[in-house]
Chains A and B, each alone.
Chain A
Amino acid sequence: MKPDRLLKRLREILPPESLLVEREDLNPYESDGLTAYRQLPLLAVIPETEAQVQQILRICYEESVPVVARGSGTGLSGGALPLKNGVLLSLAKFSRILHLDPVARIARVQPGVRNLAISEAAAPHKLYYAPDPSSQIICSIGGNVAENSGGVHCLKYGLTVNNILRLRVITIEGEVLEIGSEALDSAGYDLLALMTGSEGLLGVITEVTVKLLPKPERAQVIMAGFDDIEKAGAAVAAIISAGIIPAGLEMMDKPAIHAAEDFVHAGYPLDAEAILLCELDGTNEEVSEEIKRVHDILQASGATSLRSAQDDAERLTLWAGRKAAFPAVGRISPDYYCMDGTIPRKRLSEVLRRIKELSAHYGLQVANVFHAGDGNLHPLILYDANQPGELARVEVFGAKILELCVEVGGTITGEHGVGVEKIDQMCVQFAPKELALFHAVKQAWDEKSLLNPGKAVPTLHRCAEFGAMHVHQGQAKFPGVPRF
């Protein structure tokens, strides 16, 4: 690679303010939401038009320079961590809502549009965009697609993949692909599903068409405290077995309850070992009927306290504690590390018990926040980065938690993505031949492996070094795939 020639070519197509090369200009891009990892890129580009994106990618392709795309940079797995020898491609200027059709209930937006901005624009039509990751006030829809973001309403309304219709994608060779359509079905392979959650490894998104849903007539939340976390888990199973799909079903353990209560004073029971927050939405009649049934189920499951929000203000107060759980934990500990595994719900008590054992073993406290409806667990490991060696211990502890999730039939990431953070645990979850297929898919889109290389899918060599799997001679499927 010849940086001078790259720079010269980029200068020919971009105005000076769209091309950053000085260290102080690059600093804001050195990490995403996973701040433990930092790296300055070779340079950063902030294009304004799709044609510029095409040209940038074409140049990078011809010069064989890697490219890392970035939205708002709120990702929690280092997916947008720059590469030292690569271009950081910011889509921040793609921030327009291009078209909102309230009758067809769709919005066509640029990738830099904030998640919440879509719902705000749709609000006058009594519509909204369902996926609501906790960072929704700043995270971008392009990043949501790249990570297949979730939120607290996934059980009922699905993930990003279930709520988008169409993408415009630029390939590394600068070609425009229209994937999906404003109709429900499209011919060919479901590349919309493939692109969603592909962490910027297959193409750069320049436009997203999302589905908008009618705002439910009413939402109501009920909170239950339990003296035993297993009883709370059983209550979740009982609600779902009764044929009720809550809009949100969240669990917090004692340390998380205390941290949140100290912070926002939501009125959580401090003596409880676990609380459940169950939100029901739908038509007025439906919610009235279901809230009563859920109340009875929670009571029968041994809830020690029950509180049903009487109005929207109280509902928001009850949610405020849950939504502030991460910053609340941030107040009681100098640093925390947020994990993101999914497990079959029936294994919850076993998993929590083993996390407790690991916590004792590594001498690090844990607070657990759990999307109980869909099995997505967020253990927050408390630590102090200023203590030498503590971060390293946290990472080992975190890795053990993820491996535990795989062992019980779950996954190493429910919604935060693999990025650089969980790349070694991919070797635990997938066999060499499965990883080889991922590499083959990558090659089908990006033969030179220039889009976000080194993220999301580990090389077989890396896994061999990690020691979690063995590469048998002659088994490797794609001898052409570089293994370094």
Chain B
Amino acid sequence: MCIKGKPSFPVCRGFEMNTTLDQFTEVIHQAIARRRPLRIRGSGSKDFYGGLSKGEVLDTTAYRGIVDYAPEELVITARAGTLLHEIEAVLAEQGQMLPFEPPYFGPRATLGGCVAAGLSGPRRVSSGAVRDFVLGVQILDGQGDLLRFGGQVMKNVAGYDVSRVMAGSLGTLGLILEVSLKVLPRPKTEATLQFELDEMQALEKMNRWAGAPLPISASCYHDHVLTVRLSGAQSAVHAAQIKLGGQMMIAGEDFWRGIREQTSTFFRERAPLWRLSVPSTAAVTVPGKQLIEWGGALRWVFTEGDPGAIRAAAEKMQGQATLFRSAKKSSGVFHPLPKPLLAVHQRMKRAFDPHGIFNIGRMYSDF
């Protein structure tokens, strides 16, 4: 049970968490003994993401609670099952935030799922991704052993950086128990501006502005409109507003939430949704309905087009394509890895999970 404690975050009693931990270990040992894989799951908010993973569900939601938060240290540590919105509420009380602006994709999204999925929101382009803010993790590896890597400090080069590797590994390397994250102050002021431009002009502007000392924290281009968000000290945001011009948007916060959570009208489509990660200057041509984020580095495309052709188009621009949302995933979700790199992945998987029990198929078909 987690109770509202002092200062203001829920404190979960140690012995109950230990019991939950023992249960996890037991489940893992049984899975090894029975050679039956497990499917790690928090609230299931990101069930749609990644390949289909068979196996008995290992529910992480009971292992929850903020373990430590010292605003002046800019570090928060919480258990995997802690709700993201709980964490963000506690941070907001102290005027701080998760700098990577994680998408939730569901009201009960958990910290563990957020880190395992490794998805970042609009602020990624200026602040960094989930992996940039992971300072330490506690995991249960594929033998059920409790391991700690990294810590609660910002500079730490002792041992391989396993903590960051856990971010985006989709639970295939281990069960994340606890994560320490670097947090940052919320910007004092934000403002959203809009410009009517064609795609070429928008890409050119986004790249040029990103190379100038401007407080741009997010950008989005769709349907001839470039939207940018300014964040920072009031004077800086104000000065940039004057410098850039454009049309001030009143409901900026809602707009960016809609992009982050994919609830804005652009995302109401039935076709498969592709996520193209490309260099910000790339001129990618994948026919379909498109929305650009991250200063040009992220392109969302709805298309029924041939997966091979879409991946080839991304690759031609030194990028990669992920089948982000789709009913049919037979062509694979993530960009295929070149053979030598795939071999390293398979050996890494064996190092962490020698019996092959975690989330088989969630990332690539055989691991």
User: Interface of A with B (CB < 8 Å)?
Assistant: 101-106, 125-127, 147-148, 150, 154-155, 158-159, 161-162, 171, 175-179, 181-191, 193-194, 196-198, 214-217, 237-238, 240-241, 243-245, 282-286, 288-290, 342-346, 371, 374-376, 409-418, 422, 426, 429-431, 433-434, 437-438, 440-441, 443-445, 456-457, 477
Contact = CB atoms under 8 A, between A and B. Distances in A.
A446 to B, nearest CB: 10
A215 B213 CA distance: 7
Interface centre among A176, A183, A412, A429, by most chain B C-beta atoms within 10 angstroms, is A183
B212 interface: yes
A184 B124 contact: yes
A162 B133 CA distance: 9
Contacts of B239: 283-285
Nearest to A417: B157
B137 to A, nearest CB: 11
A410 B153 contact: yes
Interface string B142-178: 0101011101111111111110110111000100000
A441 B151 CA distance: 19
Interface in B160-207: 160-162, 164-165, 167-169, 173, 184-186, 188, 207
User: Which 6 residue pairs of A and B lie closest in terms of their CB atoms, listed nearest first?
Assistant: A243-B185, A285-B235, A193-B164, A444-B347, A414-B155, A440-B351
Nearest to A160: B157
Nearest to A156: B184
A413 B159 CA distance: 10
Given A181-B318, A417-B157, A444 B145 contact: no
B132 A162 contact: yes
B44 interface: no
A183 B277 contact: yes
Given A161-B161, A440-B351, A445-B347, A342 B236 contact: no
Contacts of B294: 184
Contact of B154 (A185, A375, A413): A375
B320 A438 contact: no
Given A181-B319, A243-B185, A290-B233, A187 B337 contact: yes
B70 A444 contact: no
A190 B165 contact: yes
Nearest to B95: A243
Contacts of B164: 161, 190, 193-194
B344 interface: yes
Given A176-B340, A177-B340, 14 more contacts: A159-B155, A178-B338, A186-B320, A198-B160, A214-B210, A215-B213, A238-B72, A282-B236, A285-B236, A422-B158, A443-B351, A456-B159, A457-B160, A477-B143
Contacts of B338: 178
A171 B186 CA distance: 42
B165 A444 contact: no
Interface string B267-298: 00000000001111100000000000010011
A288 B235 CA distance: 9
A282 B232 contact: yes
Q: How large is the interface on B (under 10, 10 to 19, 20 to 34, 35 or more residues)?
A: 35 or more
B165 A177 contact: no
B363 interface: yes
B260 interface: no
Contacts of A148: 157, 161
A444 to B, nearest CB: 4
Given A178-B338, A409-B151, A426-B158, A346 B213 contact: no
Contact of B155 (A125, A181, A198, A375): A375
Contact of A126 (B70, B96, B211, B341): B211
Contacts of B141: 437
A413 B168 contact: no
B238 interface: yes
A50 B19 CA distance: 53
22 contacts: A125-B211, A171-B340, A183-B278, A183-B319, A184-B124, A185-B129, A186-B320, A189-B173, A190-B167, A194-B160, A240-B73, A282-B213, A285-B236, A289-B234, A342-B155, A344-B70, A344-B153, A411-B158, A415-B157, A430-B158, A434-B148, A437-B352
A371 B162 CA distance: 24
B85 interface: no
Contacts of B210: 105, 214
A57 to B, nearest CB: 13
Contact of A374 (B155, B157, B278): B155
Contact of A371 (B74, B155, B334): B155
Given A177-B340, A243-B186, A441-B348, A344 B298 contact: no
Contact of B363 (A188, A216, A282, A417): A188
Interface centre among A187, A433, A438, A445, by most chain B C-beta atoms within 10 angstroms, is A187
